[in-house]
Amino acid sequence: MGGRDAGVIEWAAAGAIGGAAWAVRGRSSAVFGPSVWRGDRARRAIALTFDDGPSESTAEILRVLESYGAKATFFQCGAHAERLPEEARAVSAAGHEIGNHTYTHARLWLRSAAYVRAEVERGQVALERVHGRAPRLFRAPYGVRWFGLREVQRRLGLTGVMWTALGRDWKLPGESVAGRLLGSCRNGAIFCLHDGRMMEARPDVRNTVEAVKRLVPKLVEEGWKLETVSQLLRAST
């Protein structure tokens, strides 16, 4: 095999790997099911989203949002909602949107389609039982989609949601998280934060709480409307 042929094969292999990576985690990818990552770019509105909860600290975030009349979308894990049903229901009772984040925050990749379906279905059942209403949005843990997801999203009527900007609040200090997201403000942006830490009980989410305390008043001051993901998407249609 000539050097040119080997180079072509390497280029094709790299392209295939890159394409597969985009399919499973690309924010605009719909390969494994309908997915969105932003709303209407003509409106000065942003959706704050919170993954991995509820947790014992979710109430602190709710208090900040309430102080500024802000609405958000919380992608809850079914197991956490069952563990902390009152904290879970406080979110929907305050007028925030609930999304499905699987039952156990499972890594869906390299698992069977049956496993993927079971995680999403079990999360959906748990969240509907706790909130009295089935979620209509889904976010895959770590943002990684996989085989079997399209079918279960279709059957449960779920739209996948990625993000425009990721806060990295599980590792950065609150001030840095807020600055990172403020620098990503765009019409229709979807910001991803976390009111839990995977499957931890009593997780340390002080970075997130501090980020929200800095971020929300600044967004309101700058004239951004803070909406749920569904509100953001409805205005786009």
Specify the CATH number for the domain of residue 204: 3.20.20.370
Total tally of structural domains belonging to the chain: 2
Q: pLDDT (tens digit, 9 = 90+) per residue, 53-62? A: 999 999 999 9
In this prediction, residues 20-49 reach a mean pLDDT of: 91
User: Residue 29: its pLDDT value, please?
Assistant: 87
CA distances from 68 to 63, 64, 71, 178, 225 (A): 9, 7, 9, 16, 10
Q: Structural domain of residue 65, as residue ranges? A: 32-234
Counted residue by residue, the chain has a size of 237
Residues 111 and 23 occupy one common structural domain? no
Residues 57 and 116 occupy one common structural domain? yes
Residues 78 and 11 occupy one common structural domain? no
Residues 86 and 104 occupy one common structural domain? yes
Residues 10 and 64 occupy one common structural domain? no
Residues 114 and 130 occupy one common structural domain? yes
Residues 74 and 160 occupy one common structural domain? yes
Residues 107 and 144 occupy one common structural domain? yes
Closest CA to 105 of 86, 89, 120, 88: 120
Q: pLDDT (tens digit, 9 = 90+) per residue, 64-101? A: 999 999 999 999 999 999 999 999 999 999 999 999 99
Residues 115 and 10 occupy one common structural domain? no
pLDDT at 188 over 90: yes
Q: Give residue 28's Cα distance to chain centre.
A: 14
Residues 90 and 200 occupy one common structural domain? yes
* Burial environment of residue 94 by CB neighbours within 10 A (0 to 12, 13 to 18, 19 or more): middle
pLDDT at 37 over 80: yes
Q: Please, which pLDDT band fits residue 2 given cuts at 50, 70 and 90?
A: low
pLDDT at 208 over 80: yes
User: Residue 21: its pLDDT value, please?
Assistant: 86
User: Residue 52: its pLDDT value, please?
Assistant: 98
